[in-house]
């Protein structure tokens, strides 16, 4: 096999193992699916009256919340992969994977591939449930592709962040360190109302929060009125570039630690 | 601490002296309560998240949902005043898992089995475990009230209302703490107690936490919020902040908290007897 083929075949093996573990252990797969559905029900169902407040000009409250759930579910799917990496290293599997691959970044690529494939299932389910709950879609096919791509990029951002922590700590005890910052960043964005309606301390925080750009971009695409898309993609790719360095340096530390 | 209990209970200090018999129940309770409280203080990693996370959610909701106060019929013009009631319940319910977790840990590491060999009464064991929880609940109540008032929330019930709030938080802590104990005693596993987290989360979110029940538009959600006992606990505390003294909300809140407490403690006591016999 050529070096490139070896690299991708190692990545594919890691992805396959991850997906196999995921779908044969419901306790691992189900929480990642249940949490977004739960938030969708709680927000789109319980807060729909918020859509009637003055100056709330988004066309459909379920669609408004769906965009948040899409970004949230995508990001949390990335975090859950971080848990798997930490678990694999804790049990010694990570070390064996390192011995089996010549270029270790293929391990990270494999987990990322697995996360992306897992995400498709999550997307299908939350989209189906939202449509059943009365979500109206105004996006064109291109807009939808752009919106789901933002979801995928959110997934990669969260995955690289969590992987960086997982490679450094190599223990599931680092789980809260992966989950909490992502959870906090998500909830410091305009979750319940458009950014213009935020007041008080959360308004400047949301303005500076990179998740806000992703969320606003996704919502505008869903409404078929794309605005701030360059900013959203710029923020996503900028974070990916920074966090790829973070994750790869973490991988290097894991290699050094043996 | 366990040594103190055993010494007080079995009387092994002087082999020649007459056996004083088991120590009275209040001494047993105080020994177990003291252990439970010291344990809480020594494990900040367990306590801090259950104190901080509700404050974070309050801050986010109060900032993000302030626009909801413009919905016709919303009972106050400050979402902070509306939302703070939920913070007390959230903290009380989350910290209950702490009680279960501590007991499960005792069972897992064998301390419970050693305790069974002493004349320790089941009542003392349970009351001791719950004492730490009630103390934590009181600390949280005072902290959240102070933070809420400093941030601009209204507390219409005034000073007397604080004592009512503290009493309700105590009963809720005992009630949900009892549920944590049942799980710990029946499973003997800290992991199983942690498994209650999603259920608690569902109970909290499918309630009237974010909007008053009459303003929830979706029928299915309003139905779930109406049959969910947590809604009435939140509404009782909320009433102290918004209305001052709302007899109906308080009666429902205290009544439901008392029922949960009686049922959970009864079942926890039965489960404990069963485990002590094993």
pLDDT tens-digit map of B93-107 = 776 777 787 788 888
pLDDT category at B207 given cuts 50, 70, 90 is very high
- Residue A35 token pair: 């949490």
List the single residue in B64, B66, B211 with the smallest CB-CB distance to A190.
Answer: B64
Q: Looking at the complex, report in whole angstroms how far the Cα of residue B225 sits from the nearest Cα belonging to chain A.
A: 9
Query: What is the DSSP code (8-state) at residue B24?
Result: P
Structure confidence by residue, pLDDT tens digits, A17-50: 888 887 777 766 777 788 888 889 888 888 888 9
Domain boundaries, chain B: 2-11+22-277
CB contact (8 A) between residue A50 and residue B65: yes
List the single residue in B63, B70, B216 with the smallest CB-CB distance to A198.
Answer: B63
Q: How far apart are CA B154 and CA A60, in angstroms?
A: 33
- Residue B61 token pair: 């909701």
CB contact (8 A) between residue B198 and residue A34: yes
- Put simply, whether B181 touches A (Cβ < 8 Å) is no
- Check if the beta carbon of residue A167 is closer than 8 Å to that of residue A89: yes
Task: Please tell me which residue, B139 or B40, carries the higher pLDDT value.
Answer: B139
Phi, psi torsion values for B148, nearest 5 degrees: -60, -45
Q: Write the Ramachandran bin of B110: left for phi over 0, alpha for psi from -120 to 50, otherwise beta.
A: left
What pLDDT sits at residue B1? 41
CB contact (8 A) between residue B60 and residue A52: no
Structure confidence by residue, pLDDT tens digits, A221-235: 999 999 999 999 999
| Confidence check: pLDDT of B198 > 90 | no
Q: Which of the residue ranges B33-47, B149-163, B220-234 would you say has the lowest mean pLDDT?
A: B33-47
Q: How far apart are CA B262 and CA B175, in angstroms?
A: 7
Q: How far apart are CA B185 and CA B193, in angstroms?
A: 10
- Put simply, whether A242 touches B (Cβ < 8 Å) is no
CB contact (8 A) between residue A50 and residue B66: no
Provide, as residue numbers in chain B, all residues whose Cβ is less than 8 Å from the Cβ of A53: 67-68, 70-71
Q: How far apart are CA A33 and CA A77, in angstroms?
A: 9
Provide, as residue numbers in chain A, all residues whose Cβ is less than 8 Å from the Cβ of B68: 47, 49-50, 53, 192
- Looking at residues B109-128, what average pLDDT do you find? 82
Size of interface A-B (CB pairs under 8 A): 81
Q: Which of the residue ranges A77-91, A223-237, B143-157, B237-251 would you say has the lowest mean pLDDT?
A: A77-91
CB contact (8 A) between residue B68 and residue A55: no
Q: Which of B147, B218, B219 is most worth mutating to test chain A (most A CB atoms within 10 A of its CB)?
A: B218
Task: State percent of chain B over pLDDT 90.
Answer: 37
Look-up of token digits 């509404």? B235
What pLDDT sits at residue A27? 66
| Confidence check: pLDDT of B6 > 70 | no
Q: Which residues lie closer than 8 Å to A246 by C-beta, 6 or more apart?
A: A160, A161, A164
| Confidence check: pLDDT of B5 > 60 | no
Structure confidence by residue, pLDDT tens digits, A184-206: 999 999 999 999 999 888 999 99
Q: How far apart are CA B93 and CA B121, in angstroms?
A: 26
Domain boundaries, chain A: 3-257
Q: Looking at the complex, report in whole angstroms how far the Cα of residue B124 sits from the nearest Cα belonging to chain A.
A: 34
ipTM: 0.74
Residues 199-228 of B with CB under 8 A from A: 201-202, 205-206, 209-211, 215-218, 220-221, 225
CB contact (8 A) between residue A201 and residue B59: yes
Q: How far apart are CA A10 and CA A97, in angstroms?
A: 9
Mean pLDDT estimate for chain B: 84
Provide, as residue numbers in chain A, all residues whose Cβ is less than 8 Å from the Cβ of B206: 41-42, 46
pLDDT category at A214 given cuts 50, 70, 90 is very high
What pLDDT sits at residue B22? 60
- Check if the beta carbon of residue A211 is closer than 8 Å to that of residue A189: yes
Task: State percent of chain A over pLDDT 70.
Answer: 97
Nearest C-alpha in A relative to B58: A187
């Amino acid at each position: 096999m050529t070096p490139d083929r070896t690299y991708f075949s190692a990545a594919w093996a890691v992805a396959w193992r991850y997906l196999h573990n995921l779908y044969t252990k419901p306790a691992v797969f189900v929480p990642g699916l249940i949490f977004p559905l739960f938030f969708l029900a709680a927000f789109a169902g319980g807060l729909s009256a918020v859509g009637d407040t003055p100056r709330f000009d988004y066309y459909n409250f379920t669609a408004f919340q769906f965009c948040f759930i899409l970004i949230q579910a995508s990001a949390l799917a990335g975090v859950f992969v971080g848990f798997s990496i930490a678990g694999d290293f804790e049990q010694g599997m990570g070390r064996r994977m390192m011995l089996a691959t010549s270029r270790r970044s293929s391990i990270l690529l494999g987990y990322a591939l697995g996360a992306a494939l897992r995400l498709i299932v999550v997307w299908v389910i939350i989209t189906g449930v939202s449509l059943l709950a009365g979500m109206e879609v105004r996006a064109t096919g291109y807009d939808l592709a752009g919106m789901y791509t933002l979801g995928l990029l959110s997934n990669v951002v969260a995955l690289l962040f969590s992987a960086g922590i997982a490679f450094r700590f190599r223990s599931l005890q680092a789980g809260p360190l992966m989950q909490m910052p992502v959870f906090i960043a998500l909830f410091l964005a305009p979750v319940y109302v458009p950014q213009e309606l935020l007041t008080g301390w959360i308004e400047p925080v949301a303005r500076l929060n990179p998740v806000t750009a992703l969320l606003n971009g996704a919502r505008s695409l869903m409404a078929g009125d794309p605005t701030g898309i360059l900013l959203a993609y710029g923020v996503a790719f900028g974070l990916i570039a920074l966090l790829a360095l973070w994750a790869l340096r973490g991988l290097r530390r894991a290699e050094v630690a043996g | 601490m366990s040594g103190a209990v055993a010494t007080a209970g079995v009387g092994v200090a002087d082999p020649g002296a007459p056996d004083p018999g088991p120590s009275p129940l209040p001494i047993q309770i105080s020994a177990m309560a003291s252990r439970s409280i010291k344990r809480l203080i020594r494990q900040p990693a367990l306590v801090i998240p259950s104190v901080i996370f509700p404050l974070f959610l309050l801050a986010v909701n109060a900032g993000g949902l302030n626009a909801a106060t413009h919905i016709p019929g919303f009972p106050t013009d400050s979402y902070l005043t509306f939302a703070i009631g939920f913070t007390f319940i959230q903290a009380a319910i989350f910290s209950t898992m702490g009680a279960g977790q501590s007991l499960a840990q005792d069972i897992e590491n064998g301390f419970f089995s050693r305790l069974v060999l002493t004349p320790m009464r089941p009542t003392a064991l349970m009351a001791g475990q719950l004492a730490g929880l009630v103390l934590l609940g009181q600390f949280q109540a005072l902290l959240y009230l102070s933070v809420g008032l400093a941030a601009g929330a209204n507390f219409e019930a005034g000073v007397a209302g604080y004592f009512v709030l503290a009493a309700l938080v105590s009963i809720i802590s005992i009630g949900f703490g009892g549920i944590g104990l049942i799980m710990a005693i029946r499973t003997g596993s800290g992991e199983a107690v942690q498994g209650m987290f999603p259920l608690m989360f569902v109970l909290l979110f499918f309630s009237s936490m974010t909007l008053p029940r009459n303003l929830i538009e979706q029928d299915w959600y309003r139905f779930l919020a109406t049959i969910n006992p947590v809604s009435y606990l939140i509404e009782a505390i909320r009433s102290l902040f918004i209305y001052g003294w709302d007899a109906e909300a308080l009666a429902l809140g205290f009544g439901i908290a008392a029922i949960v407490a009686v049922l959970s403690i009864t079942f926890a006591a039965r489960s404990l007897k069963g485990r002590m016999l094993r």
